[in-house]
């Protein structure tokens, strides 16, 4: 997959962080062209972010940090392992199995699933449960657009996502160190999955997703801790029961199924009240308060009306 820039948009308008920030009042739309290639469609810019969303500190994290400080345990547990080793993963061809309670099950090439779906820039905060955060200009689309194609059956209540399991190319899967029972699995309640902020990302900073960030596509759930945003997805399963998710299975007292960002509920081993907004250094830690639902409460709090979020953490 490649993203082509039309001649009408100079490259200087596309990459530098400052330009993104100053032009953040519109998101450039991308449309998928023939053969699965992404082409910027210059006449199609449209706002996909609300003004209020934009107010909430969306100064972009530099691309070099987003692509070198990663969690992707399939390639090792060090923050720098994914960048070092994720190039060993083959992402073309990429097949995706659609299973469970769905009208259109099957094995698809990713290009078939993406064909005709409009991709746009979406600038969201990403808040890791480890209390660091970034602001990422994703290229993506609402998960709903994909689910509408797959047609979940009426009895489907959850959607589950599986990451690629290929130990020959994922050295972290060859090691017993992480304790993870591969593949990495995450999931959402179906009403969460249909929320317009629930995003499938295929790129960042106007380029295809780097392998270390979850190529060729990954989930991005901006109001939840980062571990919900599962990378390099090869299976999408519609289920009636709540999925058994990787971190929840590993340490249920520390990582809940919901995992909504919540400054009022501490991790058993550290506070979640504040976060380090990257870049963060010893002398300039750049600590900012963590916001309920990572700053997206106005949009998503209604999904959890009547639920005790201390119990359903």
**Which residues between 143 and 172 bind ligand MTE (CB under 6 A)?**
163
Please name which of 42, 217, 206, 219 lies closest in space to residue 114, comparing C-alpha atoms.
Answer: 217
Strands (E), 71-222: 95-100, 106-109, 118-127, 132-142, 158-163, 185-189, 199-204, 207-208, 218-220
Binding track over 13-52 against ligand MTE, x by CB under 6 A: ----------------------------------------
- Bridge partners of residue 276, in order along the sequence: 132, 287
Please name which of 152, 113, 151, 143 lies closest in space to residue 238, comparing C-alpha atoms.
Answer: 152
From the list ligand MTE, Mo ion, none, which binds 73 (C-beta under 5 to 8 Å, kind-based)?
ligand MTE
Does residue 229 touch ligand MTE according to CB under 6 A? yes
Backbone angles phi, psi at 20, to 5 degrees: -60, -45
Rounded to whole angstroms, the Cα distance separating 245 from 187 reads 7
Q: Which stretch in 56-64, 105-113, 228-236, 300-308 sits in contact with ligand MTE by CB under 6 A?
A: 228-236
Q: Which stretch in 59-67, 118-126, 227-235, 271-279 sits in contact with Mo ion by CB under 5 A?
A: 227-235
Applying CB under 6 A, the site for ligand MTE has a residue count of 17
**Min dist. Cβ of residue 298 to ligand MTE (A):** 23
**Which residues between 199 and 218 bind ligand MTE (CB under 6 A)?**
213-214
The only residue of 182, 184, 296, 313 in contact with ligand MTE, by rule CB under 6 A = 184
Helices (H), the chain: 17-22, 51-55, 63-66, 81-85, 110-114, 143-150, 190-193, 246-250, 297-300
Q: Calculate ∠ Cα 196-21-4, nearest 5°.
A: 75
From the list Mo ion, ligand MTE, none, which binds 48 (C-beta under 5 to 8 Å, kind-based)?
none
Q: Which tokens go with 295?
A: 């700053």
Rounded to whole angstroms, the Cα distance separating 148 from 310 reads 32
Rounded to whole angstroms, the Cα distance separating 132 from 76 reads 19
Of the pair 89, 101, the CB lying nearest ligand MTE is at 89
**Which residues between 50 and 109 bind Mo ion (CB under 5 A)?**
71
**Min dist. Cβ of residue 219 to ligand MTE (A):** 8
Q: Tokens 């060729």 — which residue?
A: 216
Does residue 128 touch Mo ion according to CB under 5 A? yes
**Min dist. Cβ of residue 130 to Mo ion (A):** 6
Of the pair 101, 200, the CB lying nearest ligand MTE is at 200
From the list ligand MTE, Mo ion, none, which binds 60 (C-beta under 5 to 8 Å, kind-based)?
none
The residues, any chain, with a CB within 8 Å of residue 168's CB and separated by 6 or more, are none
From the list ligand MTE, Mo ion, none, which binds 140 (C-beta under 5 to 8 Å, kind-based)?
none
**Min dist. Cβ of residue 302 to ligand MTE (A):** 25
Residues in the chain: 313
From the list ligand MTE, Mo ion, none, which binds 206 (C-beta under 5 to 8 Å, kind-based)?
none
Rounded CA Rg of the chain: 19
The only residue of 140, 226, 243, 295 in contact with Mo ion, by rule CB under 5 A = 226
Rounded to whole angstroms, the Cα distance separating 292 from 273 reads 10
Does residue 227 touch Mo ion according to CB under 5 A? yes
Contacting positions for Mo ion (CB under 5 A): 71, 128, 226-227
Residues of this chain that bind ligand MTE (CB under 6 A):
70-74, 126, 128, 163, 184, 213-214, 226-227, 229-232
């Amino acid at each position: 997959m490649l993203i082509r820039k039309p001649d009408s948009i100079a490259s200087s308008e596309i990459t530098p962080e400052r330009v993104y920030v100053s032009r953040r009042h519109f998101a450039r739309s991308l449309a998928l062209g023939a053969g699965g290639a992404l082409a910027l469609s210059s006449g199609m810019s449209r706002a996909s972010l609300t003004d209020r969303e934009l107010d909430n500190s969306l100064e972009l994290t530099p691309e070099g940090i987003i692509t070198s400080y990663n969690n992707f345990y399939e390639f090792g547990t060090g923050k720098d392992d994914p960048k070092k080793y994720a190039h060993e993963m083959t992402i073309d061809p990429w097949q995706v199995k659609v299973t469970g309670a769905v009208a259109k099950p099957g094995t698809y090439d990713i290009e078939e699933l993406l064909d005709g779906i409009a991709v746009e820039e979406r600038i969201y905060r990403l808040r890791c449960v480890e209390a660091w955060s970034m602001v990422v200009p994703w290229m993506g689309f609402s998960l709903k657009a994909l689910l509408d194609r797959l047609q979940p059956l009426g009895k489907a209540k959850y959607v589950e996502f599986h990451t690629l399991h290929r130990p020959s190319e994922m050295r972290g899967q060859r090691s017993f160190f992480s304790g993870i029972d591969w593949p990495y699995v995450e999931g959402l309640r179906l009403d969460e999955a249909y929320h317009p902020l629930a995003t499938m990302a295929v790129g960042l900073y106007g380029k295809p997703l780097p392998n270390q960030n979850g190529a060729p596509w990954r989930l991005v759930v901006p109001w939840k801790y980062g571990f919900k945003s599962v990378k390099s997805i090869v299976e999408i399963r519609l289920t009636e029961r709540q999925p058994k998710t990787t971190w929840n299975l590993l340490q249920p007292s520390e990582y809940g199924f919901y995992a909504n960002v919540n400054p009022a509920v501490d991790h058993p081993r550290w506070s979640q009240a504040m976060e380090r907004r990257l870049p963060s250094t010893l002398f300039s830690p750049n600590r900012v308060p963590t916001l309920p639902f990572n700053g997206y409460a106005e949009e998503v709090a209604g999904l959890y009306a009547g639920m005790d979020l201390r119990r359903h953490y």
